[in-house]
Structure 1
Amino acid sequence: MSNVMLFHSAYGPRPAVHAAAERLREAGHRVVTPDLYGGRTADTVEEGMAIKDEIGRDELLRRAIAATAEHTDGGVVYAGFSLGGSLAQTLALGDVKARGLLLLHGTGDIAEDAVTDGLPVQLHVADPDPFEPHDWLTAWYLRMRRAGADVEVFRYPGAGHLYTDPELADHDAEAAERTWRTALGFLAGLD
């Protein structure tokens, strides 16, 4: 059983985030879903990016750190959707006790001096993905490996960016189901 910090996308803490958390709980994991937007949600990616920009990346990161602080002693698996994946990645690379990193639809920049000791990382991403182009993913993968992470990348041809959210046009039920089966196996392997 893992302690999972699951961060929402730029859309905010929508029902799909809570459904994902429930799915993880049903598999026996403890899951916390911090609300980094203070209760706000967006109906479009443009609205979500406007909320993100209004709050600012530094403040979002501060909120993520504050939400995580009381849960890190026993080791946490950081996870996130798109923007939330980027935040989860930053936290995981800065936490020597991190047990794993599960990225759904998103990655982030990696500091040149980032170092981790075999951190298990699993990324699930659409192929192609307008926010995660092939060149970026290749460079990201190589930087994560250079930092010492044990990385697996799963690509889903034809799926839209946030394909696990059944309320969005991006939704791809088959890709979403494959993602969750693989992610649950990843989490089970961390126990």
Structure 2
Amino acid sequence: MDIMLFHSVYGPRPAVRAAAARLEEAGHRVWTPDLFEGRTFETVEEGMAFKEELGRDELLKRAVVAAAPHSGGGLVYLGLSLGASVAQNLALGDEKARGLVLLHGTSDIAEGAGADGLPVQLHVADPDVFEPHDWQTAWYLGMGRAGADVEVHRYPGAGHLYTDPDLPDYDAEAAERTWRTVLAFLDELASADGRD
């Protein structure tokens, strides 16, 4: 599978490269665009301040420019937290998208968005301060109305970015369960259309 992996609000930290390496070891081709032009942050607040300074439109523009050269054959969009929001926006706007994997985050769903049969996985801490249950419910219903085929996987007791071993939220057991589930999902997508 061809995968476009978007980093979190912390920027292109080692966890992003580690995630890409894990996917590549499983036989996938992965791109990890740097939407922050090399900037990394130690706190969510610093990263959010930079994101606000950059602006949502510029962030999405950078993501589209990064994905466009690789999207012709169909991409799986995958994102971590803020990157999940970016991945969701691109996947819902790409009629050739083959799948969407959201780790630690979601995004608003544009009115009239279409995701006819798009396979989607959401992996999220439970509870998650950035993804409260009422938001997740509304998001799930909205994705269903858009036509997506959604699976939600919750990890009780894990912190928000529980897959990043360099952060206090890290939960090795939840991270391992997440990656096993994601890799099985990607294998199913590849088998469904006979491509890898």
Q: Indicate the TM-score class for this superposition, using the shorter chain for normalisation.
A: over 0.9
User: Which secondary structure state, in structure 1, belongs to the residue aligned with residue 83 of structure 2?
Assistant: helix
3-state SS of paired residue (2:67): helix
Q: Which amino acid aligns with 1:55?
A: L
Residue number in structure 2 paired with 1:171: 170
Tell me how far apart the structure 2 counterparts of residues 54 and 81 of structure 1 sit (CA, whole Å). Answer: 20
2:10 and 2:55 mapped to 1: Cα distance? 15
Please list, as runs of the form range in 1=range in 2, the aligned pairs for 1:123-162 lying within 5 A after superposition: 123-162=122-161
Residue in 1 aligned with 2:194? Answer: none
Tell me how far apart the structure 2 counterparts of residues 93 and 28 of structure 1 sit (CA, whole Å).
25
**In the TM superposition, what are the counterparts of 1:47-86 in structure 2 within 5 Å?**
47-86=46-85
Name the CA distance, whole Å, in 2 between partners of 1:42 and 1:129: 21
Once the two structures are superposed, the pairs formed by residues 31-46 of structure 1 within 5 Å of their partners are: 31-46=30-45
Q: CA RMSD in A?
A: 0.4
Q: State TM-score, norm by structure 2.
A: 0.96
Q: Does residue 186 of the first structure (1) align with residue 185 of the second (2)?
A: yes
Q: Secondary structure at the match of 1:169?
A: coil
1:18: how far off?
0.3
Separation in 1 of the partners of 2:60 and 2:169? 26
Q: Residue 100 in 1 paired to residue 99 in 2?
A: yes
CA distance in 1, matches of 2:46, 2:90: 25
Aligned residues: 190
Find the aligned partners of 2:136 and 2:89 in 1 and give their Cα distance: 16
Tell me the amino acid that sits aligned with residue 32 of structure 1. W
Output one character per residue of 1:140-179: Cα deviation in whole Å (capped at 9) or x when no partner.
Answer: 0000011000000000000000000000000000000000
Q: Which moved more, 1:43-52 or 1:91-100?
A: 43-52
- 1:87 correspondence with 2:86: yes
Partners of 2:116 and 2:24 in 1: CA distance: 27
Point out where structure 1 has 5 or more consecutive residues left out of the alignment.
none
SS at match of 1:5: strand
Shift of 1:116: 1.6
How far off is 1:4 after superposition?
A: 0.2
**In structure 2, distance between residues paired with 1:53 and 1:65:** 18
Q: Which runs of 4+ in 1 moved over 6 A?
A: none
Percent identity among equivalent residues?
Answer: 75
CA distance in 2, matches of 1:180, 1:49: 26
